[in-house]
């Protein structure tokens, strides 16, 4: 299994739009083949920080996810609206 924690820092003026795009990405990605979990978390102490936590069956499933239309459309939006930092772990 592969786990990704994607931290997103955004400005207050961009937060609502970023949250909308992130929720859309989560909903679409949960249906991807090999997706074990895909969740969005909001920091309880920092309103400018969110995290997407992804778990994939294997590298092939993650690679296929990265080729989907929803990934291609929504990840650039997230990058435009915030600063992303990803941590990748093999489980």
Give per-10-residue mean pLDDT for the chain (91 aa). 97 96 98 98 95 98 98 98 96 81
CA angle 81, 86, 87 (to 5 degrees): 160
Q: Give me the pLDDT at residue 91, please.
A: 81
Please give the model's pTM, rounded to 2 decimal places: 0.93
Q: Is 25 exposed, middle or buried (0-12, 13-18, 19+ CB in 10 A)?
A: buried
Question: Which helix H or strand E contains 3, and what residues bound it?
Answer: strand 2-10
Q: Is 24 exposed, middle or buried (0-12, 13-18, 19+ CB in 10 A)?
A: middle
State how beta strands 2-10 and 35-42 pair.
unpaired
The rounded distance, in Å, linking the Cα atoms of 41 and 21 is: 14
């Amino acid at each position: 299994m592969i786990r990704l924690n994607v931290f997103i820092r955004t400005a207050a003026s961009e937060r609502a739009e970023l949250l909308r795009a992130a929720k859309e990405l989560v909903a679409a990605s949960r249906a991807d083949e090999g997706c074990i979990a895909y969740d969005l978390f909001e920091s309880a102490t920092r309103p400018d920080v969110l995290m997407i936590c992804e778990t994939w069956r294997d590298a092939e499933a993650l690679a296929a996810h990265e080729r989907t239309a929803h990934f291609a459309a929504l990840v650039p939006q997230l990058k435009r609206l915030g600063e992303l930092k990803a941590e990748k772990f093999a489980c």
